[in-house]
């Protein structure tokens, strides 16, 4: 029986605890082949992001190219990383790190994206779960990119759900709104996995304890430690999550929509980003075709597939089953 070849993915990330969950989900899932990890600032400084990506791969005995990318937003002034959410080291302030080898690929993240896509036109999916500066810079460097990329899936934004950095803005988009607007208007096949669905999926800390006990492996032990720190933040700030003693999976869902699209309800619309002012970072979705007097909503703004609903329990079951596979 011929099985579908695994989807080649470049993972653009700011690890970050839920980024680490997402990476390990991808490494565990047979339908995903992570061919590169391009890092960006966001949850941590970009140097720390690259170090964390190399460390997580080494713990899982994977050799995957890791590049250093955007160190700050394209235009707005950078804000300090949220060490109160992910820890100063981005992985929940690990008490120690085992000695591992591995150095970043010498290319920048945007250059790696362009080179890899041009080597395999039509085959590469970009899964982006941090601020979008690497993708925006790659677009500027190579305007033909959108026609050669198979698909872009991004964790970011929100349409009907409240924001997490303001009443209307989600962190990844808010951290670099100019980059995000370039990504939403580039014209590549784009799926947005925003807070409308990620706030429906709360992952219990007990799940990561069970995964760690199942594997008895330094990779899943490290992930469990990181999720414990990350869950403590949510326990202090989110009454819904506190009831579960867990956390939002956020970035993992960018891979679940790839492996299990049937669990999501998608809606097509034109998405733009507010780049400044009180609504900075808001993802605004034109959901019906009316002609607006407000500029910026012209007809040729490309469409985005936006995840508006998810079968949360089935999603959690897929995440658990994937982590429990024999992948380490
Ligand atoms: O808003 C959640 C997003 O911001 C996630 O990608 C998380 O890792 C942070 O980057
Ligand atoms: Ca992230």
Q: Residue holding tokens 């579908």?
A: 4
Q: What is the pLDDT of residue 291?
A: 82
Q: State the average pLDDT over residues 67-77.
A: 98
Please state the rounded mean pLDDT for residues 12-19. 98
3-state secondary structure (DSSP) of residue 35? strand
Encoded tokens for 125: 């999916």
**How far away, in angstroms, is 30 Cα from ligand 1 center?**
25
For ligand 1, the distance from its centroid to the CA atom of residue 52, given in whole angstroms, is 15
DSSP state, residue 261: G
What pLDDT is recorded for position 256? 98
- Tens digits of residue pLDDT in 111-148: 999 999 999 999 999 999 999 999 999 999 999 999 99
Residue nearest to atom 1 of ligand 1 (CA): 171
- Residue 94 structure tokens: 């690990």
Pocket test for ligand 1, best of 11, 12, 13, 14 (most atoms within 8 A of CB): 14
Domains delineated in the chain: 7-323 (3.90.245.10)
What is the model's pTM?
Answer: 0.98
- Give the list of residues 6+ apart from residue 302 with CB closer than 8 angstroms, or none: 184, 185, 186, 187, 188, 190, 270
- Smallest Cα–Cα separation from 118: which of 136, 153, 143? 143
Cβ distance 44 to 85 under 8 Å?
Answer: no
Tokens of 185: 């208007």
**12 in contact with ligand 1, CB cutoff 6 A:** no
Provide the pLDDT for residue 101. 86
Q: Report the first-to-last Cα separation within the chain, whole angstroms.
A: 25
Give the Cα-Cα-Cα angle 303, 306, 312 (nearest 5 degrees). Answer: 165
pLDDT band at 81 (very low <50, low <70, confident <90, very high): very high
Residue 249 has pLDDT above 90, yes or no: yes
**Closest Cα to residue 57, out of 13, 88, 119?**
13
Catalytic residues: 14, 250
Distance CA 288, CA 66 (A): 40
Name the token pair of 242. Answer: 């506190």
Q: Does the structure show a pLDDT above 80 at 26?
A: yes
Q: Which residue CA neighbors atom 10 of ligand 1 most closely?
A: 130
Percentage, residues of the chain above pLDDT 70: 99
Mean pLDDT of the chain: 96
Residues 6+ apart with CB under 8 A from 122: 148, 150
How confident is the model over 218-235, as a mean pLDDT?
A: 97
pLDDT at 4 over 90: no
pLDDT value of residue 322: 98
Give the pLDDT band (50/70/90) at residue 2: low
Q: Which atom of ligand 1 sits closest to the CA of residue 248?
A: 2
* pLDDT tens digits for range 32-47: 999 999 999 999 999 9
Helices of type H across the chain:
17-28, 46-59, 83-86, 109-119, 133-141, 145-148, 171-175, 177-184, 195-198, 205-215, 218-237, 239-244, 252-259, 312-323
pLDDT for residue 316: 98
Phi, psi of 244 (to 5 degrees): -95, -20
CB 31 within 8 A of CB 5: no
pLDDT of residue 45: 98
Token pair 């089953």 is found at 321
Mutational test site, ligand 1, from 12, 13, 17, 18, max ligand atoms within 8 Å of CB: 18
CB 177 within 8 A of CB 132: no
Q: How confident is the model at residue 298 (pLDDT cuts 50, 70, 90)?
A: confident
Assess whether pLDDT exceeds 80 at residue 3.
Answer: no
pLDDT, tens digit, 9 for 90 and up, residues 189-202:
999 999 999 999 99
What is the number of residues in the chain?
A: 328
Atom of ligand 1 lying closest to residue 170 CA: 1
Say whether pLDDT at 63 is over 70: yes
């Amino acid at each position: 029986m011929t099985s579908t070849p695994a989807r080649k993915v470049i993972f653009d990330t700011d690890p970050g605890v839920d980024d680490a969950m997402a990476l390990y989900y991808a490494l565990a899932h047979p339908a995903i082949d992570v061919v590169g990890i391009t890092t960006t600032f966001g949850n941590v400084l970009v140097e720390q992001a690259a170090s964390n990506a190399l460390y997580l791969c080494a713990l899982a005995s994977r050799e995957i190219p890791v590049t250093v990318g955007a160190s700050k937003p394209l235009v707005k002034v950078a804000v300090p990383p949220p060490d109160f959410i992910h820890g100063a080291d981005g992985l929940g302030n690990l008490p120690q790190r085992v000695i591992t080898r591995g150095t970043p690929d010498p290319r920048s993240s945007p250059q790696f994206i362009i080179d890899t896509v041009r080597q395999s036109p039509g085959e590469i999916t970009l899964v982006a779960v941090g601020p979008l500066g690497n993708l925006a810079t790659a677009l500027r460097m190579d305007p033909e990119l959108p026609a050669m990329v198979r698909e872009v899936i991004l964790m970011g934004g929100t349409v009907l759900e409240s924001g997490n950095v303001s009443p209307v803005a989600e962190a990844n988009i808010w951290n670099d709104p100019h980059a995000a607007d370039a990504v939403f208007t580039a014209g590549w096949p784009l799926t947005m996995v925003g807070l409308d669905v990620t706030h429906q999926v709360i992952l219990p800390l007990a799940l990561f304890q069970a995964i760690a006990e199942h594997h008895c492996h330094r990779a899943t032990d490290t992930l469990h430690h990181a999720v414990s720190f990350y869950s403590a933040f949510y326990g202090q700030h989110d009454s819904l999550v506190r009831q579960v003693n867990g956390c939002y999976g956020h970035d993992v869902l960018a891979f679940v929509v790839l492996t299990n699209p049937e669990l999501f309800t998608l809606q097509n619309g034109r998405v733009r980003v507010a780049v400044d002012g009180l609504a900075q970072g808001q993802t605004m979705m034109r959901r019906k075709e009316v002609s607006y007097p407000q500029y910026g909503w012209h007809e040729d703004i490309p469409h985005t597939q936006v995840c508006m609903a998810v079968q949360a329990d089935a999603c959690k079951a897929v995440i658990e089953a994937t982590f429990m596979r024999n992948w380490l």
